[in-house]
Amino acid sequence: MELSQNTSTVKQVLILGSTGSIGLSTLDVIAQHPDKYQVFGLVAQSSLDLMLAQCLRYSPKYAFLQNATSRQQLRHKLKEQNSAVEVPESESELDQLCAHPDVNYVMAAIVGAAGLKPTLAAVRAGKRVLLANKESLVTAGNLFMKEVAAAGAELLPIDSEHNAIFQCLPATYRGQPATCGVKKILLTASGGPFRETPIEQLATVTPAQAVAHPNWSMGRKISVDSASLMNKGLELIEACWLFNVSPSFVEVVIHPESVIHSMVEYVDGSVIAQLGSPDMRTPIAYGLAWPSRIEASVTPLDFVKLGQLRFESPDLLRFPCLRLAAEAFDVGGSACATLNAANEVAVDAFLNGNLRFSQIPSLIEQVLQEIEVVAIGSIDEVFQADRIARLETQNRLAEFL
């Protein structure tokens, strides 16, 4: 892979997870500002047809599919189209791509543990990393934040809630709440589709019902996490690493309208909130342009039509995943990696009809209680904890069938 230094004022953007919802929204924002941003590279798992279409439309310099067979097919199809897009050969070249000197910004939106290594490669290269991959902080938060500090990388959260908190904190915030009068972080949650469903009925909900989020358009796995509030539990863990606080410093608030994306409370009684339509193009545009702002074609809020804004505390009996996440962060070590892996296996089993929705937290809790917590000192140890947890969850899954 030929390396050269980028001297252009147009920012070159590498998108990890270009065929997912975040990737598609990122491409939409970039397309609105061709004078400011250019697609340098596209990376996805195996969506061959969509990746090919993206290559032909956005003409990146590089494209990469993590599935080896799909990668070979992409290379062949691009040649058929006489496209100049290059397809790196191996995963090791993907890490080089993330560290390429021409790359200015990296959108880290690959879902799952597969996004950890390339995101870390971008961090180590000192890039501006727009972080939409939860697993980087959930499974390896301590290691990840140390790498950010060591490399001097810019880490900007893209999840709507963390981006909102970032916008509400003072510009001088450096992970020390007391020094700038921050009293509490208020992390909002929609409550998902089962906020008012009787608890005894949760055992019979279907995957189709679970993925039907009332406000956001998301992938199936994330939609199920939102329905169980595990998504908010993972976001709680992320917030603790991003803003250097403990779970007790973060209050989760159910806000069904999803208009206030999160808030920060100050010691003088002030509460600063970030509001906007539930559209991921807003945090993406903010991450690309920070500290400036750019147009993102997001529908503005109409406060006259908006009506009431409701708030309530989460019911931990209905949503035990939120409790499990807070407990895992407090335990530390490999606990959060175990939590994340067990949840991924449990959600997949639910989506495939092999586990009831109400059994997801029960299975996760059993795995957390069974597996010994160990210290994490390297990425390899993170992956080892992940493998152990997945195997244990699969073994215990048979008890629920």
Q: Provide the token pair at 250.
A: 């973060």
pLDDT at 399: 86
Mean pLDDT of the residues in the chain: 94
For residues 134 and 63, state if they share a domain.
yes
Question: End of a domain among 101, 123, 157?
Answer: 157
pLDDT digits (tens, 9 = 90+) for 118-177: 999 999 999 999 999 888 999 999 999 999 999 999 999 999 999 999 999 998 899 999
What Rg do the C-alpha atoms of the chain give, in angstroms? 21
For residues 87 and 48, state if they share a domain.
yes
Q: Provide the token pair at 135.
A: 């697993």
pLDDT band at 213 (very low <50, low <70, confident <90, very high): low
Cα 178 versus chain centre, distance: 27
pLDDT at 398: 85
Quick check: is 348 in a domain? Answer: yes
Share of the chain above pLDDT 70, in %: 97
Quick check: is 293 in a domain? Answer: no
Question: End of a domain among 157, 180, 205?
Answer: 157
pLDDT at 5: 46
pLDDT at 352: 95
Note the pTM of the prediction, 2 decimals.
0.91
For residues 84 and 229, state if they share a domain.
no
DSSP state of 71: H
Q: Provide the token pair at 351.
A: 């989506």
For residues 150 and 183, state if they share a domain.
no
**Whole-angstrom distance, CA of residue 190 vs CA of residue 261:** 9
The beta-strand segments (E) located in 142-256 are: 154-157, 182-189, 250-254
pLDDT digits (tens, 9 = 90+) for 34-50: 999 999 999 999 999 99
**What is the domain count for the chain?**
3
For residues 24 and 96, state if they share a domain.
yes
pLDDT at 134: 85
Quick check: is 216 in a domain? Answer: yes
Quick check: is 284 in a domain? Answer: no
Question: Strands 260-266 and 182-189: what pairing?
Answer: antiparallel
For residues 308 and 201, state if they share a domain.
yes
For residues 180 and 303, state if they share a domain.
yes
Quick check: is 38 in a domain? Answer: yes
Q: Which domain holds residue 336?
A: 332-401
For residues 19 and 136, state if they share a domain.
yes
For residues 358 and 307, state if they share a domain.
no
For residues 125 and 178, state if they share a domain.
no
Judge whether residue 217 has pLDDT over 70: no
For residues 48 and 101, state if they share a domain.
yes
pLDDT at 219: 72
Quick check: is 2 in a domain? Answer: no
pLDDT at 211: 86
Reduced to 3 states (helix: H, G, I; strand: E, B; else coil), residue 106 is strand
Least Cα distance to 260 among 188, 158, 159 occurs for 188
For residues 167 and 303, state if they share a domain.
yes
Judge whether residue 101 has pLDDT over 60: yes
pLDDT digits (tens, 9 = 90+) for 61-88: 999 999 999 999 999 999 999 999 999 9
